[in-house]
Amino acid sequence: MPDTPDDASLSPVAGVRIGVFDSGVGGLSVLRALREQLPQAELLYVADSGHAPYGEKTDAFVVARSQAIADFLMAQGADMLVVACNTATAAAVQALRNTWPDVPIVGVEPGIKPAATLSRNGKVGVLATEGTLASQRFRDLLARHGHTVSVVTQACPGLAREIELGELDSPQLRTLVATFSQPLLRAGVDTVVLGCTHYPFVRELFQAVLGPTVTIVDTSDAVARRAAALAARVPPPPRATVMPGAARLWSSGDPARLSSVAARWLGLIAPAHALP
């Protein structure tokens, strides 16, 4: 594609650099959706795997890590940020918006609103980290969108950590999925919300346990659509500064593991670097 400003095929989105971060590899589910929605954007992804999972940390810790990572991504030239972590969104997205008031920032939240619409029997289950379920942001979300249905919440301690290891069909992972599904099955829910960005990578395991009649809600695509709408309004920087369609990866844990997981789960071939 010609790198010229008068090329009609170039939209403002083609010149946008989007910073994305999560407590670990779970946010790759959002990165996957962003690549589909915004194939010409340059994506910067940080996995804070050295401090994962956020769901087991204090709010103060999550806010501090989120601020540090956002600072790093902005220093890399990000035009907007996607907080690809439910726990970080709940704890830190407002602090990030206060710090960067002119930067579009997209967070992720459990999809209670679409789940309430999709439910046939009025019983919805929410699978999430302890941190997300305990947050004021989640309580507010429940008050806004959960009043028309009966909502059963299920904390999933250890699940994000197990997924972080990168093996999606281990006996330990199957045991955790079965354990956390049982209360929802007993409650008779017909719709289940995946309230952590790690969980879509084991969606098939949950579906197998919950059964084919249970609808599973994942908000990754909705987050990507929101990011695309905001990206279209971002004035494009000089074209030479952006690599359309490229992805750059960093990890505070093992960069080689992030590269391996991105290749296996997304088909994304990109070397990962150590987060400074």
CATH of the domain at 225: 3.40.50.1860
Structural domain range at position 226:
12-108+221-274
> Is 267 found in the same domain as 176?
no
CA angle 141-86-145, nearest 5°? 15
Bridge partners, residue 42, by sequence: 17
* Residue 98 is assigned to a ligand binding site: no
> Is 231 found in the same domain as 104?
yes
> Is 241 found in the same domain as 143?
no
Which pair of tokens denotes residue 159?
């699940």
Quick check: is 6 in a domain?
no
Quick check: is 2 in a domain?
no
Cβ(25)–Cβ(252) under 8 Å? no
* Given the residues 18, 30, 78, 85, the one annotated as active site: 85
pLDDT computed for residue 245 by the predictor: 79
pLDDT computed for residue 243 by the predictor: 76
* Residue 147 is assigned to a ligand binding site: no
> Is 143 found in the same domain as 58?
no
Q: Where are the alpha helices (DSSP H) in 108-219?
A: 112-118, 130-133, 136-145, 159-164, 171-187, 203-210
> Is 194 found in the same domain as 70?
no
Residue ranges in the chain whose pLDDT is less than 70: 1-14, 236-242, 244
Quick check: is 4 in a domain?
no
Quick check: is 16 in a domain?
yes
> Is 21 found in the same domain as 143?
no
Respond yes or no: is residue 156 known to be catalytic: no
* Residue 197 is assigned to a ligand binding site: yes
Could you give the C-alpha distances from 35 to 101, 240, 245, 271, in angstroms and in order? 25, 20, 8, 17
> Is 58 found in the same domain as 156?
no
CA distance 50 to 142: 31
- Rg (C-alpha) for the chain, rounded Å, is 18
* Residue 77 is assigned to a ligand binding site: no
* Residue 4 is assigned to a ligand binding site: no
Quick check: is 51 in a domain?
yes
* Residue 191 is assigned to a ligand binding site: no
> Is 62 found in the same domain as 34?
yes
Q: Look at the chain and report how many structural domains it folds into.
A: 2
pLDDT computed for residue 235 by the predictor: 77
> Is 247 found in the same domain as 189?
no
How many residues are listed for the chain in this entry? 276
* Residue 48 is assigned to a ligand binding site: no
pLDDT computed for residue 6 by the predictor: 32
| Global confidence as pTM | 0.89
> Is 207 found in the same domain as 157?
yes
Phi, psi of 127, deg, nearest 5: -100, 125
> Is 131 found in the same domain as 66?
no
Quick check: is 149 in a domain?
yes
Quick check: is 5 in a domain?
no
Quick check: is 49 in a domain?
yes
* Given the residues 160, 176, 196, 258, the one annotated as active site: 196
pLDDT computed for residue 234 by the predictor: 83
Cβ(121)–Cβ(94) under 8 Å? no
CA angle 128-129-134, nearest 5°? 100
> Is 204 found in the same domain as 76?
no
